[in-house]
């Protein structure tokens, strides 16, 4: 393997240690976490190269709005979901419903061992990214159990359901969740990041708040605490570009 020490320009990237191993291995322990380090050889004595390096550093430090989150991506093991309530009823406008769903999520994680990387819960739908264990793609069984348990406990506690047809009643369908859900297998790191940002920006997109930080039912706050997002990320009244919208999310 050729040494990188004499390369004219090296861009080294190391990501936060609390997230997992970096996607791009760092060849030297000298760089701190979550920084972008640019190194040059003696060519850096030229004024043009110095100006170029200064411009690149300025771009990364002051302009780009992307969060510094990269996860060791597992092909086929990470999925984006959209799950909606029946007839878009605002089931989760009540804090009781929010807490009940959180309780059921925690039980499902203990029972089936998966990770919720990101989630946002709006009154009539939710988005989530899951990581499943290696060789396990049975997300349908997990969602079926979550929806069934929520429906049972929600209705037993006095929750209301939407009208359903007689044919659906024959199959013991209830009017709380839509029967189908949207699923997308995340292809690579860029695909993951687009959906990761989309989830956390979703309350702003739908007009509930002006900043993701103002919406309580979101994993955004967890990732702010870990230093992945700045607190003001994604606000409509900031000059930075807003996150990319996605055309196909099942909403």
> pLDDT tens digits, residue range 157-173?
998 887 766 666 655 67
CA dihedral (191, 85, 200, 25) in degrees, to 10, reads -40
Q: Taking the domains of the chain in order of start, what are their residue ranges? A: 9-62, 78-225
Confidence band (pLDDT; 50, 70, 90) for 47? low
CB < 8 Å & 24+ apart, contacts of 70-74:
70/15, 70/19, 70/22, 70/23, 70/189, 70/193, 71/19, 71/20, 71/23, 71/117, 71/189, 71/192, 72/20, 72/21, 72/23, 73/23, 73/186, 73/188, 73/189, 73/192, 74/131, 74/134
Q: What per-residue confidence (pLDDT) applies to 61?
A: 39
Mean of pLDDT over the chain = 75
48-86 pLDDT per residue, tens? 545 555 554 444 434 334 444 444 345 558 999 999 999
Of 200, 45, 174, the residue nearest 120 (C-alpha): 200
Task: Give φ, ψ of 157 to 5 degrees.
Answer: -95, 10
More confident residue, 170 or 192: 192
Give the pLDDT confidence score for residue 39 in this predicted structure.
36
Q: What is the average pLDDT across 153-158?
A: 94
pLDDT of 143 > 50? The answer is yes
How many angstroms separate the CA atoms of 201 and 152, rounded? 31
**Does the reported pTM lie above 0.75?**
no
* Of 3-7, 140-144, 167-171, minimum mean pLDDT range: 3-7
Work out the average pLDDT over 27-47.
Answer: 39
Q: Which CATH number fits domain 78-225: 3.40.50.1100, 3.30.390.30, 3.30.70.1290, 1.10.645.10?
A: 3.30.70.1290
Rounded to 5 degrees, what are φ and ψ at 87?
Answer: 55, 25
> Does 205 score more than 90 pLDDT?
yes
Which has the higher per-residue pLDDT, 31 or 105? 105
Q: pLDDT at position 242, please?
A: 72
pLDDT given at position 166: 65
Mean pLDDT lowest for which of 160-169, 177-186, 195-204, 233-242?
A: 160-169
Q: Among 55-64, 91-100, 141-150, 239-248, which stretch is predicted with the lowest mean pLDDT?
A: 55-64
CA 208, 213, 215, 217 torsion-angle sign: positive
């Amino acid at each position: 393997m050729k040494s990188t020490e004499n390369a004219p320009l090296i861009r080294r990237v190391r990501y936060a240690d609390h997230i997992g191993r970096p996607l791009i291995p760092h060849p030297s322990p000298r760089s701190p976490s979550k920084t972008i380090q640019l190194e040059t050889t003696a060519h850096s004595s030229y004024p043009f190269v110095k100006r170029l390096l200064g411009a690149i550093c300025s771009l990364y430090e002051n302009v780009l709005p992307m969060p510094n989150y990269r996860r060791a991506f597992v092909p086929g093991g990470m999925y984006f979901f959209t799950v909606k309530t029946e007839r878009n009823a605002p089931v989760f406008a009540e804090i009781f419903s929010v807490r009940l769903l959180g309780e059921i999520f925690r039980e499902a994680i203990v029972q089936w061992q998966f990770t919720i990387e990101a989630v946002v819960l709006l009154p009539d739908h939710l988005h989530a990214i899951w990581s499943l264990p290696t060789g396990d793609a049975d997300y349908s069984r997990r969602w079926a159990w979550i929806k069934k348990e929520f429906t049972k406990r929600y209705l037993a506690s006095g929750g209301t359901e939407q009208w359903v047809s007689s044919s659906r009643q024959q199959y013991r369908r209830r009017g709380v969740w839509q029967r189908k859900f949207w699923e997308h297998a995340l292809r690579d790191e860029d695909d993951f990041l687009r959906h990761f940002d989309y989830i956390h920006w979703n309350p702003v997109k739908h007009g509930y708040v002006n900043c993701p930080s103002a919406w309580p039912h979101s994993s955004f706050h967890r990732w702010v605490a870990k230093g992945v997002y700045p607190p003001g990320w994604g606000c409509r009244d900031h000059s930075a570009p807003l996150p990319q919208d996605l055309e196909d999310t099942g909403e």
